[in-house]
Amino acid sequence: MKKVNAFILVSLLAVVFSACAVNYNHEGSADKMAHQAQALSYFEVHHDGRINVFDDAATYLGFMKLGETSYRLTRIGAGPKGQTVVFGLTKKDKKKRSGIKGVDLYDGKLKVMGQFYGEIVMHNRFYVFSSWNDLLAVKKIGEPSYFYTQIGAGPGGKTVVYVLNKKTKKKKPVALIEQFRKVHLKK
């Protein structure tokens, strides 16, 4: 009987400790899981030899208008070709040192699951994405393989390149065009 009680006690302790470990790991990654559950936005602007990164449309649009942001995190020489990388921060993120979506996306620490919207401004064009993997491919290669272009349709008469992939290449990206318009055009 004592062996059975000891076995039950050891089994219960094992269950309790493993449950604590699971809860600790879950809570430790709660921010990461919350980031993944939300629709993510990512904006990158190549300007004056710098890469400017944003996870917030309002901060991004402010930068596009003024050429700078109120709050930023700067990494000198951290870009792929030694460029300075500047993360435009929101007021609520300005004191954080971790858990910033734009930084985590740029660093590859945050997996994109679900809805995604992104833009890269480079070569005097807007590249617009609905897929994180497509965005990464363009960053790596420098140009998209599949795209739909609207010349002069962007702010300041810039060309807008809607990046497609093998699955989406045969359809006009109507939803992506509308999303771009919502970000940039005020009604």
First-last CA distance in the chain: 77
Beta 159-164 vs 146-150: how paired, if at all? Answer: antiparallel
Q: Token pair of 90, please?
A: 């929101």
Shared-domain flag, residues 81 and 10: no
Shared-domain flag, residues 24 and 62: no
pLDDT-based confidence at residue 113 (cuts at 50, 70, 90): confident
Shared-domain flag, residues 14 and 102: no
Distance CA 10, CA 57 (A): 53
pLDDT-based confidence at residue 154 (cuts at 50, 70, 90): very high
Shared-domain flag, residues 25 and 100: no
pLDDT tens for 78-111 read 999 999 999 999 999 999 888 999 999 999 999 8
Considering only CA atoms, which of 157, 158, 84, 103 is closest in space to residue 127? 158
Residue 6 structural domain:
2-31
The per-residue pLDDT for 97 is 84
pLDDT at residue 46 greater than cutoff 50: yes
Shared-domain flag, residues 165 and 101: yes
Distance CA 44, CA 53 (A): 5
Which residue in this structure is represented by tokens 């300007």? 47
pLDDT at residue 177 greater than cutoff 70: yes
Shared-domain flag, residues 106 and 15: no
Distance CA 53, CA 22 (A): 34
Shared-domain flag, residues 118 and 176: yes
Shared-domain flag, residues 24 and 107: no
The per-residue pLDDT for 78 is 95
Shared-domain flag, residues 132 and 46: yes
Shared-domain flag, residues 99 and 175: yes
Shared-domain flag, residues 10 and 94: no
Average pLDDT over residues 60-73: 95
Shared-domain flag, residues 94 and 136: yes
- In the chain, pLDDT over 90 holds for what percent of residues? 73
Considering only CA atoms, which of 135, 71, 129, 88 is closest in space to residue 108? 135
Structural domain count, the chain: 2
